[in-house]
Amino acid sequence: MDEKQQIVVKARLSLGSESHSVEGCKGGMVSEQVVYVKGECMSIFKEFITKHNVPNDVPDPDEIVSSEDDETPSHVVKSKKIRRESN
pTM of this prediction? 0.54
Q: Are 22 and 8 in contact (CB under 8 A)?
A: no
Residue 66 CA to residue 51 CA, distance in Å, equals 29
pLDDT bucket at 10, cuts 50 / 70 / 90:
very high
Coil, strand or helix: which one is 28? coil
Q: What is the pLDDT of residues 29-84, one digit of tens each?
A: 899 999 999 999 999 999 999 888 866 665 667 766 655 555 555 544 444 444 44
